[in-house]
Amino acid sequence: MAQNEQGIRRIRIAPSLLSADFGRLAESVVGVSQTADWLHLDIMDGRFVPNITIGPMVVEAVRKTTELPFDVHMMVVEPERFIKAFRDAGADSLTVHYEACPHLERVVGQIHETGALAGVALNPATPVEALVDMVDELDLVLIMSVNPGFGGQAFWPRAVDKVRRMARLRGDRQRPLIQVDGGITLKTAPLVKSAGADVLVAGTAIFGSADPGSAIQQMRKG
Ligand code: DX5
Ligand code: ZN
- Please pick, among 42, 45, 71, 198, the residue that the annotation labels catalytic: 42
For the stretch 131-151, what's the b/e string if a residue is b when 16 or more beta carbons lie within 10 angstroms of its beta carbon?
A: beebbebbbbbbbbbbebbeb
Q: Rounded to two decimals, what is the model's pTM?
A: 0.97
Active site residue 42: yes
Q: Which whole number is the average pLDDT over 2-6?
A: 55
For the stretch 86-97, what's the b/e string if a residue is b when 16 or more beta carbons lie within 10 angstroms of its beta carbon?
A: bbebbbebbbbb
Q: Which whole number is the average pLDDT over 106-118?
A: 98
Q: Which whole number is the average pLDDT over 31-60?
A: 98
CB 206 within 8 A of CB 186: no
When mean pLDDT is compared across 4-8, 48-52, 77-81, the lowest value belongs to 4-8
Q: What residue type is assigned to position 2 of the chain?
A: A
Residues in the chain: 222
Please determine, for residue 6, whether its predicted confidence score (pLDDT) is greater than 60. no
pLDDT digits (tens, 9 = 90+) for 152-202: 999 999 999 999 999 999 999 989 999 999 999 999 999 999 999 999 999
pLDDT digits (tens, 9 = 90+) for 127-139: 999 999 999 999 9
Out of 99, 146, 207, mutate this one to test ligand 1's pocket (max ligand atoms within 8 Å of CB): namely 146
Longest dimension (CA), the chain: 44
Q: What is the pLDDT of residue 1?
A: 46
Q: What is the pLDDT of residue 3?
A: 58
Q: Compute the chain's Rg from CA coordinates.
A: 16
Please determine, for residue 7, whether its predicted confidence score (pLDDT) is greater than 90. no
Indicate which atom in ligand 1 lies nearest the CA of residue 153: 14
Q: What residue type is assigned to position 214 of the chain?
A: S
